[in-house]
Amino acid sequence: MTDTTSNQMWGGRFAAGPDAIMEAINASIGFDKRLAAQDIAGSRAHAAMLAATGIISDRDAEAMREGLLTVLSEIEEGRFTFSPALEDIHMNVEARLKDLVGEAAGRLHTARSRNDQVATDFRLWVRDQLDAVEAGLETLVRACLVQAEAGADWVMPGFTHLQVAQPVTWGHHMMAYVEMFGRDLGRVRDARVRMNECPLGAAALAGTSFPIDREMTARELGFDRPCANSLDAVSDRDFALEFLGLASICAMHLSRLAEELVIWSSAQFRFVALSDRFSTGSSIMPQKRNPDAAELIRAKIGRIFGANVALMTVMKGLPLAYSKDMQEDKEQVFDAADNLLLALAAMEGMVRDMEANREALAAAAGHGFSTATDLADWLVRALDMPFREAHHVTGSLVALAERKGCDLPDLTLAEMQAVHADIRADVFDVLGVENSVASRRSYGGTAPDQVRSQIARWKEKLS
């Protein structure tokens, strides 16, 4: 392809080419070449519209459109030489198109600017990432549903402050993440609807005097409509910020689950075993099985949060319309998207492969006085005791069990009656963890029938 020593796009306004330092700080081709497919799609749609409105000839438009497909093939096959002297993906593509089709290529930029061109390319790219994130989230949710269904009635301890709180089921715990990732899905879908407007035709900032058909280019590129204000169209990066925002929330959810997998797979917990595919060994300690994939997912959130803050900082002080600062909008988004998609894939693999240890879960569920709340509730129901008094009596029984080195169900009836004389033998019916979880039948509760109901609801939503 043609290479140049001076940047010819500036035309007669500048007598000399850019200094090497200026070229280095100004060029974006090192990263915006990732927009090649979107840039070529936008240019092909623009060429078709220019011909349909009579602005250029059908012959020139067809030459451009075919030439652009050739450029795309060269890029995809690794045969394209990118030139930093041409600054960005737009000028690199246009220069190569001129090599292929001659002077007709110079008509392609009629009625558009790099400002609306890059805004369109970037929207198309972010839209593709939203679609990929949606698919990744759906796959992860399905993996969580499989785990939840398998253990809908497996008891385990529920925690607050990482202290044993009340018994729950494995299925209920996994369904909590289904709800989290389900909200992420909702944000992805909402963002896609909101961002699906086409900037192409806004030109530099004020629109164009050519009789273009913006509805046509919007349709060709799969947008719902053109952007309604040309100033906003070229200066808006809300779609990228919204992507980074939802990516940050999703990464935070992934990090929370990753943290639990790190804890659960430890020798102290033994709640789950991660597969060899998502674990590593130690270079010195042969017994080690490290949850490195979970730890790396947990760390990814720093990069994604950082990208969000970086782009917010770039955009916060910019007057309308376009400023060169906005060249710094892409690298953060590229990195965040790459890492979010990788984290989603790794988490789906871990969840799909992991094996929950039902015996260890059940054993842990019975420790730590996890049925103390069930005892207090029984005192309220059976003895008509005010809850605050029931809380006090239960606390006294817990203290007695701690002194004896046993759990609540191990106390004798006589020992319980020494604390409160009205306690009856049927109190033991509520002290088992199985009875505890079965009793939590309120909507959204941990009772196995409620868990299975929520699993069915989500299967229907996904279908």
Check whether 333 has a pLDDT greater than 90. Answer: yes
pLDDT of 322 > 50? The answer is yes
Q: What is the pLDDT of residue 5?
A: 43
Query: Active site residue: 57, 73, 282, 323, which one?
Result: 282
Q: How far is CA 320 from CA 214, 229, 238, in A?
A: 22, 12, 14
Range with the lowest mean pLDDT among 113-127, 366-380, 435-449?
Answer: 366-380
Indicate the range of 4-13, 201-210, 253-262, 337-346 predicted with least confidence.
Answer: 4-13
Q: Evaluate whether 104 touches 50 at the Cβ level (below 8 Å).
A: no
Contact 122, 330 (CB under 8 A): yes
Candidates 449, 393, 442; CA nearest to 422 is 393
Point out the least confidently predicted range of 66-80, 331-345, 365-379: 365-379
SS3 for 198? Answer: strand
Residue 249 CA, chain-centre distance (Å), reads 7
Given this model, what pLDDT does residue 296 score? 94
Determine the average pLDDT of the residues in 263-285.
82
The tokens for 237 are 């990066």
Give residue 1's pLDDT band: very low, low, confident or very high (50, 70, 90). very low
pLDDT at 4: 43
Whole-angstrom distance, CA of residue 421 vs CA of residue 441: 30
What pLDDT score does 25 carry? 83
The percentage of residues in the chain with a pLDDT greater than 70, rounded to a whole number, is 94
Report in angstroms the alpha-carbon separations of 83 from 26, 33, 35, 43, 145. 13, 11, 15, 19, 49
Mean pLDDT of 265-283: 83
Q: At 451, list the tokens.
A: 């868990």
**Side chain identity, residue 372:** A
pTM attached to this predicted model: 0.88
Which residue did the predictor score with more confidence, 405 or 371?
405
The predicted structure's pLDDT at residue 217: 98
Contacts made by residues 185-193, CB under 8 angstroms, sequence distance 24+: 185/134, 185/137, 185/138, 185/141, 187/246, 187/249, 187/250, 188/130, 188/133, 188/134, 188/137, 188/246, 189/134, 191/130, 191/239, 191/242, 191/243, 191/246, 192/127, 192/130, 192/131, 192/134, 193/224
Average pLDDT, the chain: 91
Distances in Å between the alpha carbon of 435 and those of 28, 361, 448?
63, 16, 11
Give the mean pLDDT of 186-196: 98
pLDDT of residue 2: 40
Residue-by-residue DSSP string for 149-173: HHTTT-EEEEEETTEEEEEEEHHHH
Q: What are phi and psi of 309, to 5 degrees?
A: -65, -40
What radius of gyration, in Å, describes the C-alpha atoms of the chain? 31
pLDDT at 286: 47
Which range among 20-29, 149-158, 299-308 shows the weakest confidence by mean pLDDT?
20-29
Segment 185-209 mean pLDDT: 97
Average pLDDT over residues 418-437: 87
User: CA-to-CA distance for 350 and 220, rounded, in angstroms?
Assistant: 40
- pLDDT per position as a tens digit, 286-298: 455 788 999 999 9
Higher local confidence (pLDDT), 423 or 284: 423
Q: What is the mean pLDDT of residues 36-62?
A: 97
Question: Which pLDDT tens digit goes with each residue over 3-47?
Answer: 444 455 555 555 556 677 877 787 788 888 999 999 999 999 999
Nearest alpha-carbon partner for 373 in 355, 354, 397: 397
Mean pLDDT of 212-241: 98
Question: Of 211 and 290, which is predicted with more confidence?
Answer: 211
pLDDT at 339 over 60: yes
Peptide bond connecting 321 to the previous residue in cis, omega within 30 degrees of 0: yes
Task: Give the tens place of pLDDT for each residue, 383-397.
Answer: 999 999 999 999 999
The answer to whether residue 367 scores a pLDDT higher than 50 is yes
Using pLDDT thresholds of 50, 70 and 90, give the confidence band for residue 368: low
pLDDT at 442 over 50: yes
The whole-number pLDDT of residue 132 equals: 98
Give pLDDT, residue 173.
98
Q: Which residue in the block uniquely carries the two structure tokens 């679609």?
A: 131
**161 part of the active site:** yes
Segment 108-135 mean pLDDT: 97
